[in-house]
Structure 1
Amino acid sequence: MKIIVTDAASKWFQTEMGLGNGNGVRFYGKVYGKTPVHDGFSLALTRDDDPNDVYTQTDKDGIHYFVDEDDRWFFKGYDLKVDFDPKKDPENVVYTYQENGEL
């Protein structure tokens, strides 16, 4: 699984969450909602500067974006692209999933 964070999304995270070098964002699945690949679950995120058991991670502008091993089930078989669209209101952060063939 790959996590791709665009330049626009990285700037949004830095501004809106006050993130800087060495900080982290953890993506995970939560009950309720819907994604393009899961009914009954939605994508969530939280600031987490001390990852424990990382399944996958990418670094952008000194910030660690990651998924814990416990959340592998939610992302297995997909890559996650995180982008920012200032015209999309109220959810300016846009997530897209792409199959990656991971078994």
Structure 2
Amino acid sequence: MKFEVSKEAAQWYIDEMELKQGDYVQFYVKLYGGIPTVHPNYSLGVEVGKEGEVIIKDVVEGVTFYFNNQDAWFLEEYDMKIVVANGEADFIFTKS
């Protein structure tokens, strides 16, 4: 289980969400609709703020990108890297 946010992707989120150093960006699991994933019927949502216990994180450009204790199961068998492709955040999942 590995979670990585590229510097370019972090900057993309900073620009898009008007983030500042010290902010937290939570990725959370939801049914349908949102960022497509390797788990059928599940997608990812994104929101600013810290909720729950931070289980897996990557701090880039002073911003903490994370999954909390409730949603960490999502990466149990996968590594996830966020990059920028075609001007948008792109999510790359690989089996760990």
Q: Is the 8 A contact 2:21 2:63 kept in 1?
A: yes
Bigger CA radius of gyration: 1
TM-score normalised by length of structure 1: 0.81
Specify the alignment match of 1:42 in structure 2.
43
Q: Which runs of 5+ in 2 are unaligned?
A: none
Pairwise CA distance, 1:98: 1.5
**1:8-56: CA deviations, max 9, x gaps?**
1111111110111100111111101452x211111221111x3431111
Aligned-partner residue type, residue 94 of structure 2: Q
| Greater alpha carbon shift after TM alignment, 21-30 vs 51-60 | 51-60
Q: Is the 8 A contact 2:52 2:70 kept in 1?
A: no
**1:38-96: CA deviations, max 9, x gaps?**
11111221111x343111111001000110010022221111101112x26xxx11001
Query: Partner of 1:39: helix, strand, or coil?
Result: coil
Specify the alignment match of 1:99 in structure 2.
95
Query: Partner of 1:21: helix, strand, or coil?
Result: coil
TM-score normalised by length of structure 2: 0.87
Within 5 Å, give how 1:80-91 maps onto structure 2: 80-85=80-85, 87=86
Determine what percentage of the aligned residue pairs are the same residue.
30
Q: Is the 8 A contact 1:2 1:58 kept in 2?
A: no
d(CA) in 2 for partners of 1:99, 1:55? 19
1:3 maps onto 2:26 in alignment: no
Specify the alignment match of 2:22 in structure 1.
22
* 4+ long deviations beyond 2 Å: none
Specify the alignment match of 1:60 in structure 2.
60
Give the number of equivalent residue pairs. 94
